[in-house]
Structure 1
Amino acid sequence: PVGPNNPHEPGTPVNPDEPNGPKWPAKDTYTKEYTSTVHFVDNNGNKMRDDDVQTSTWTRTLIIDKVTGQIINPDEEWTADKASYNEVKVPVINGYVVDKANVPAKETVQRNIEDTVTYTKVGNIVPVDPSGNPIPNVPAVPYTNDPTDPTKVVPNEPVPSVPGMTPNVPTVTPTHPTVDTPVVYTMPTPVTPETPVTPQPDEPATPQTPAAPQAETPAPAKAVSATPVKQEAKELPQTGNENNSAAALGLAALGLTGLLAAGKKRRKED
């Protein structure tokens, strides 16, 4: 046999004693290599970085007829040393973004595989005047790459400073990472100083002529009433109450005496 575990130099005699006899087959009849390659280019096809290349090795073991040199099992199956190629994470290149963040893992097959990742330049923050024209001698500022995602740029990017002019927004969040964003700058409106008011001198006040004094009229005397003041009569105390109480006590005593006498008389009769 000939194969990965029984290698033989291709083209050498199967039987060393018969140098003109059958020869060992070419190596690619029992060992082959295939690749998965990812290319990194810009929009013009220029190479941006080295290719990412992964290799799979396929082998099989063949049986050779030592008399004829024919392969007895030409349909022997091939076996790969790996089931799939690894996922490829696309790297960040400053000033560019890509259309995909990674190249997915692929199953190994008996052919070469190629993928291409295309890098495109990021857009710019472009200072313009109110008419939309770029401001002379003020360069556009490229967006900043997202360091964790090669397909994005960072949001809320501060706009550049232009001496003597004011932007209409302090930051920019690009709607698309490769499209420019114009930012309008305006000149501050000059403030016209107010004309000071000249104070007018006050006119002297016209003196007022004092009024002539008037004689006071004496008030009439009040009449004194001759009606004498009535004194309230004091209520005299009632004196008949004490006599009535004494009479009532006398009658009660007489009644009690009569009752006692009647009681004694009944006891004697009994």
Structure 2
Amino acid sequence: MKGYTPDLKSVAALTVTPDTKDTVITVTYTKNPIVTSTENKTVKRTINYLVDGNEVSAPDSVNQEFIFSRDVFTDTVTGDVTYGNWNVDNTSFEAVDSPSLKGYTPDLKSVAALTVTPDTKDTVITVTYTKNPVEVQPTPKPTESVDSNKTDPADSTNTMTKHVNSTTVTAKSQIINQVVPSQPVTKSKKLPQTGEEHNSLATIGLLILSLATGLGLKKRKKINLLID
């Protein structure tokens, strides 16, 4: 009988005769001593963090584990072993958000929760951080220096206009100088009310009249030549 031991391993053979009396033999079974122990099994999940380029230190690794346990019964007589049930309450690993690392982005924002059993194998997950791309700012254009010796086109136009105006004034002055001497210029008296301004206007009028008279004489002189 499993788990029990008889006090007699065997009842010996017996030779009987007509005179042999009936006999009764009792074999008593005693339950075998049982040794109880506990068996443990640990399931692990390790999350490692790696920085691409190793320019900065990576976050510390995260270690998750769950220890399953059950009773073990050993028969000290026969050596037979029997097992109890595993404890399977709350057997899951919590989700783990990847730590923030300035200037870097992890390939996994979070490691999902995981339900485990005694048959689950140990796992290792690696989260890799990649450096964020740097936005290149456009290079500003250099400021053009102003050459003090360079002539502005607008200034050149103004200069040409000034030269033209000066030449026109000079030409008019030469014509007036040629015509005026042939005609006497009458000095005007200064009027007490108009003053020098009236005198100047009178002088300009005389000059224009003299110019017209001179041109008329030249035309008349040409006509006379044709008649003669």
Normalised to the residue count of structure 2, the TM-score between the two structures is 0.47
Tell me: higher relative CO, structure 1 or 2? Use CA pairs within 8 A at least 6 residues apart.
2
- Structure showing the higher helix proportion among its residues: 2
TM-score, length-scaled by structure 1: 0.40
